[in-house]
């Protein structure tokens, strides 16, 4: 018995030695070692975190940067934007009628969804109508209503459909390049009411199906999300055959994994990048900085005093200094022309007078307002800067976080909005605009009361073996152009 026990002990020691030599744990890489290749199948794998962690893979509900990034991987739109120009996506060709009231789209033939089903005009019709219903929910601030798409799309044949407009809309195909108008598989959506929601170890994700360059593999909520390249993609693909996204609650763990060469890149924003650099200054050598498609706006609730009055809005806009906001945000945003240069003296006179108008007795009161925002450290930082600047003028500002943009817009006196596309996308569209009012005040239109504050920067820490690329329109990683050197 003793001999058998001694042999077992030796076997255990040998096995432990093998494990320690091969390095099963984290942090076994060195700076000069080759980047990780998926060992079992020899697949080139790109690993990063996702910030912020996604809540959906449904493209029509996607709102955050990470959700839009995944949308662009899994799905296609009819048209795409590249270097400021509109190019073909799923549309092979398209034509407008002479009066601009009809757009006819001819689909590429032979395109298949990830489940093998062919792309049809019926899928496109379903997708556009469904997206139109969510567009206003996600972009309420513009007051643009795409509900007309529900009645104005006609299927001509299996590969062709037409969209009709009440007035000329020669650039409507540009609108259809937005990720919210991604094309989904009709039958899959209809069969799975939980489509796009995260899964767990005991509750798998329902089928996620698109036509994009990457197909869905697995998603364990709070742990990881995996995509694999689509071998039947209708366009050129990248050398990145597998995307593994790790979902971290603690960003410092992602930083440690990056330093240990277990991640190829880390996705950050301006706010948390600066916090990371303070603790890990060596990461500066790995940092790349890009402007994103996300912009922050200051909006006014015209139904609440004092911003129902033009002079109150004008005073606030002129009093705020965008460069001070940029400084307070630690470089997370690039200032945009919209705010004034901090004209405090003139603004104070106006605000004091408006405060006098609200006095109910002899006691002079300062203006009391609520500044609302819905999400994000950057929005909060911008709000804190605005609060500080206006309080210096004698205004009492309560900064309050709301659960949604619509709550902030309706319950606060004025608010900060984060939007991932701008009104420039919709210039020339003769679509229903519920914000239009018959008023000489130009800012009285719902889609024109938003004052640009700044454009957001995103930061990436990237290892040297990655040739990194981002989408110029969004600032998000462009996986079709990003390459990984495996030599």
Confidence check: pLDDT of 118 > 70: yes
pLDDT, mean over the chain:
81
Assigned domain for 205 exists: yes
User: Who wins on pLDDT, 61 or 14?
Assistant: 61
Assigned domain for 199 exists: yes
Confidence check: pLDDT of 235 > 80: yes
Task: Give the per-residue pLDDT at 297.
Answer: 92
Confidence check: pLDDT of 399 > 90: yes
Write down which residue in 185, 207, 237 finishes a domain: 185
- Write down how long the chain is: 487
Task: Give the per-residue pLDDT at 171.
Answer: 85
Q: Which of 223, 187, 221, 233 is nearest to 207 (CA)?
A: 187
Determine whether 459 is exposed, middle or buried from the number of CB atoms within 10 Å of its CB (0-12, 13-18, 19+): buried
Confidence check: pLDDT of 360 > 80: no
Task: Give the per-residue pLDDT at 348.
Answer: 77
Confidence check: pLDDT of 448 > 60: no
What CATH number is given to the structural domain containing 101? Answer: 3.90.76.10
The Cα 358–Cα 352 span in angstroms is 10
In a 13 Å sphere around the CA of 200, the CA atoms on its Cβ side amount to 2
Assigned domain for 322 exists: yes
Give the lowest-confidence range in 132-146, 222-236, 255-269, 471-485.
132-146
Assigned domain for 18 exists: no
Tens-place pLDDT, residues 267-295: 987 778 878 888 999 999 999 988 887 88
Same-domain check for residues 287 and 301: no
Give the lowest-confidence range in 338-342, 347-351, 469-473.
347-351
The Cα 347–Cα 190 span in angstroms is 55
Same-domain check for residues 196 and 51: yes
Average pLDDT of the segment spanning 143-167 = 81
User: Who wins on pLDDT, 63 or 107?
Assistant: 107
Average pLDDT of the segment spanning 99-117 = 96
Instruction: Quote the crossing angle between the two packed helices 344-357 and 310-319, to the nearest 10°.
Output: 150
Confidence check: pLDDT of 372 > 90: yes
CA distances from 25 to 202, 257, 264, 390, 459 (A): 26, 11, 17, 52, 28
Q: Residue 100 — left, alpha, or beta (φ > 0 → left; ψ -120 to 50 → alpha)?
A: left
202 contacts: CB under 8 Å, gap ≥ 6? none
What CATH number is given to the structural domain containing 377? Answer: 3.10.105.10
Average pLDDT of the segment spanning 377-394 = 90
Q: Which of 345, 340, 311, 312 is nearest to 324 (CA)?
A: 340
The Cα 135–Cα 327 span in angstroms is 33
Q: Is the dihedral of CA 278, 279, 281, 287 positive or negative?
A: negative
Assigned domain for 61 exists: no
Split at pLDDT 50, 70, 90, the class of 23 is very low
Same-domain check for residues 300 and 446: yes
Q: Which of 296, 303, 339 is nearest to 444 (CA)?
A: 303
Average pLDDT of the segment spanning 364-392 = 87
Confidence check: pLDDT of 24 > 60: no
Tens-place pLDDT, residues 285-329: 999 988 887 889 999 988 888 888 888 888 888 889 888 999 888
Q: Which residues pair with 107 in a beta bridge?
A: 91
Strand extents, DSSP E, 425-472: 432-433, 451-462, 466-467
Split at pLDDT 50, 70, 90, the class of 175 is confident
The Cα 426–Cα 179 span in angstroms is 14
Same-domain check for residues 359 and 439: yes
Task: Give the per-residue pLDDT at 166.
Answer: 83
Assigned domain for 378 exists: yes
Range of the domain at 124: 76-185
Average pLDDT of the segment spanning 188-210 = 93
Same-domain check for residues 52 and 134: no
The Cα 131–Cα 152 span in angstroms is 14
Assigned domain for 25 exists: no
Same-domain check for residues 356 and 216: no
Split at pLDDT 50, 70, 90, the class of 388 is very high
Same-domain check for residues 93 and 226: no
Dihedral angle over CA of 149, 151, 152, 155, nearest 10: 110
Task: Give the per-residue pLDDT at 314.
Answer: 87
Same-domain check for residues 267 and 144: no
Same-domain check for residues 40 and 99: no
Task: Give the per-residue pLDDT at 273.
Answer: 83
3-state SS class at 168: coil
Task: Give the per-residue pLDDT at 135.
Answer: 63
Task: Give the per-residue pLDDT at 195.
Answer: 96
Same-domain check for residues 325 and 423: yes
Confidence check: pLDDT of 110 > 50: yes
Write down which residue in 185, 217, 237 finishes a domain: 185
Task: Give the per-residue pLDDT at 401.
Answer: 94
What CATH number is given to the structural domain containing 284? Answer: 3.40.190.10
Same-domain check for residues 280 and 301: no
Same-domain check for residues 400 and 379: yes
Beta strand 451-462 with 466-467: parallel, antiparallel or unpaired?
A: unpaired
Task: Give the per-residue pLDDT at 374.
Answer: 87
Confidence check: pLDDT of 5 > 80: no
What's the total number of domains in the chain? 3
Write down which residue in 137, 165, 185 finishes a domain: 185
305 contacts: CB under 8 Å, gap ≥ 6? 358, 413
Assigned domain for 163 exists: yes
91-100, 146-155, 272-281, 429-438 — most confident range: 91-100
Q: Is 174 within 8 Å of 85 (Cβ atoms)?
A: no
């Amino acid at each position: 018995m003793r001999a058998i026990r001694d042999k077992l002990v030796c076997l255990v020691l040998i096995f432990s030695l093998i494990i320690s030599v091969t390095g099963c744990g984290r942090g076994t890489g060195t700076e000069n070692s080759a980047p990780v290749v998926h060992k079992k199948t020899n697949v080139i794998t790109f690993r990063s975190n996702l910030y912020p962690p996604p809540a959906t893979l449904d493209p029509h509900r996607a709102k955050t940067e990470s959700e839009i990034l995944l949308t662009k991987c899994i799905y296609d739109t009819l048209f795409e934007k590249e270097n400021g120009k509109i190019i073909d996506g799923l549309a092979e060709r398209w034509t407008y009628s002479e009066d601009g009231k009809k757009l006819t789209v001819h689909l590429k033939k032979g395109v298949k969804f990830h489940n093998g089903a062919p792309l049809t005009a019926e899928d496109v019709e379903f997708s556009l109508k469904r997206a139109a219903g969510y567009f206003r929910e996600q972009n309420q601030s513009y007051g643009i209503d795409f509900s007309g798409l529900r009645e104005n799309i006609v299927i001509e044949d299996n590969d062709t459909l037409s969209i009709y407009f009440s007035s000329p809309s020669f650039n409507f195909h540009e609108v259809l390049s937005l990720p919210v108008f991604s094309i989904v598989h009709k039958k899959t959506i209809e069969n799975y009411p939980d489509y796009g929601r995260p899964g767990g170890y005991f509750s798998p994700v329902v089928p996620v199906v698109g036509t994009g360059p990457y197909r869905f593999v697995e998603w364990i909520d709070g742990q990881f999300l995996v995509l694999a390249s689509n071998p039947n993609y209708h366009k050129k693909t990248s050398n990145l055959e597998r995307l593994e996204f790790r979902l971290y609650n603690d960003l410092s763990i992602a930083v440690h994994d990056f330093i240990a060469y277990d991640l190829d890149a880390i996705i950050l924003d301006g706010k948390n990048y600066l916090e990371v650099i303070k603790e890990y200054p060596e990461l500066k050598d790995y940092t790349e900085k890009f402007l994103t498609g996300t912009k922050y706006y200051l909006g006014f609730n015209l139904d609440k005093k004092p911003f129902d009055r033009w002079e109150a809005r004008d005073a606030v806009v002129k009093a705020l200094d965008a460069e001070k906001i940029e400084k307070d945000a630690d470089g997370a945003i690039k200032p945009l022309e919209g705010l004034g240069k901090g004209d405090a003296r003139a603004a104070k006179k106006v605000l004091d007078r408006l405060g006098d108008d609200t006095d109910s007795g002899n006691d002079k009161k300062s203006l009391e307002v609520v500044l609302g925002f819905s999400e994000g450290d950057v929005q909060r930082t911008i709000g804190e800067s605005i609060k500080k600047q206006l309080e210096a003028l004698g205004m009492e500002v309560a900064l309050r976080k709301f659960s949604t943009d619509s709550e902030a817009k309706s319950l606060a006196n004025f608010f900060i909005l984060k939007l991932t596309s701008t009104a420039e996308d919709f210039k020339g569209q003769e679509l229903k605009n519920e914000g239009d009012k018959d008023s000489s005040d130009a800012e009285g239109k719902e889609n024109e009361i938003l004052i640009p504050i700044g454009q957001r920067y995103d930061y990436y820490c990237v290892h040297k073996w990655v040739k990194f690329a981002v989408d110029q329109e969004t600032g998000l990683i462009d996986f079709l152009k990003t390459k990984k050197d495996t030599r």
